Amino acid sequence: MKLRPVHRARRFARTLVARRPRAEDLDWATSHLTEAEQRLFLKMSTADRAHSIEVARAVEANLDRLGLQPGDEGARWIMAAALTHDVGKTVAGLGTYGRVMATLSAAAGGADMGPHWAEKRGMTRKIGLYLQYPKLGADLLAMAGSDERVVAWAAEHHEPEETWTVPVEAGRLLVAADDEEL
């Protein structure tokens, strides 16, 4: 997980003012998910659900870049990936300030400390789990029976594109939406 200060600062500011997604936005989001994915999505924090809905709306508005239209069978996994890419954050149970601590801890001590810290107790354990949220999210989605590309995206969305197992153009669209570049 890279520090990416500008991205992190924007996300922090948005988290502080995040509002509960409107019922129609939640209905729209869950319409793109299987029942098991819906349960995972609804466990996400208010800010994470709002963020994921924004990402998915941006992806949907730009599906034509992939030769797809909303509702196309080939778009289903991309929409599910946009909505669930951060679901692993639910495992750590950290709030906004805990996540800031985790991000700074990763920058100072290295994100590779996550598995070691996760073996500890208290806040150290939570930080260790948070640093592993992409893998944990992929595990949750795999157990939920999600499309293998949705599972892969949860695990790979912070990795360099040359390591992605999802179609690169779809990954680029998902990253651009996640980074608020669309």
pLDDT tens digits for range 147-169? 999 999 999 999 999 999 999 99
What 8-state DSSP symbol labels residue 5?
H
pLDDT in tens, 10-47: 666 666 566 778 899 999 999 999 999 999 999 999 99
Per this entry, what is the length of the chain? Answer: 182
Between the CA of residue 8 and those of 93, 179, 180, what are the distances in Å? 19, 10, 12
User: Distance (Å, rounded) from C-alpha 45 to C-alpha 7?
Assistant: 19
Q: What pTM, to 2 d.p., does this model score?
A: 0.87
Range of the domain at 71: 5-178
User: Distance (Å, rounded) from C-alpha 164 to C-alpha 159?
Assistant: 7
Tell me what pLDDT residue 156 has: 96
Pair 167, 176: CB distance under 8 Å: no
Provide the number of structural domains found in the chain. 1
pLDDT in tens, 47-106: 999 999 999 999 999 999 999 999 899 999 999 999 999 999 999 999 888 888 888 887
